[in-house]
Amino acid sequence: MVRAVFDQVLTVVSAFGPVQVLPEKTRIALHVRMSFAAFMPRLHWLSGHLVLARHADSRRFLKAEELSPRNIVHTFRLISSADVDTEFISWLSEAYRVGCQEHIHPSQAGGRASGSP
C-alpha cells in the first residue's frame, strides 16, 4: 500500500515535467534544479516533506520549518492513495515550481532576466 501511494505521487509529479528520483539511504528525494520533496516509506504510511515558497496553513502538515524566507519545509504523512487529493496535488505542483526555482527572480537563480545583456 505504501508503494502504491508513492507511485501515485510520482505519476502526478511526472505530469508536471521532468523530475529526477534520487534514492538515498534514508529517503527518496524528488529533484529538478533543487530537491523539492522527499519521502520516507514506513510500514503503514509514507512520511515526507514538501518545500514551498510560503507557509501553507493546513492541519495536514505536521510541522513547517523555515529554511529561508522562500524555502519552507512542510512535513506530512500519507496513509492511503485518497490522501493524494486535489489539495495535496496543488501543493506538489507548487513544490515542483520551487524545485524549478521559479519562485526566485531569474538573476538570483543564475539566469538572466529577459531583455538583459
Residues 12-56: pLDDT tens digits? 999 999 999 999 999 999 999 999 999 999 999 999 999 999 999
Residue 105 lies in a domain: no
How many structural domains is the chain composed of? 1
Q: Is 30 left (phi over 0), alpha (psi -120 to 50) or beta?
A: beta
Is 113 a residue whose pLDDT tops 80? no
Contact indicator for 45, 62 with CB cutoff of 8 Å? no
CA distance 80 to 6: 10
Kindly list the distances between the CA atom of residue 27 and the CA atoms of 36, 55, 82, 90, 97, in Å, as whole numbers in the listed order. 13, 23, 22, 22, 21
Structural domain for 39, as ranges = 2-83
Residue 48 lies in a domain: yes
Number of neighbouring beta carbons within 10 Å of residue 43: 6
Q: What grid cell was written down for 61?
A: 502538515
State the pTM of this model.
0.85
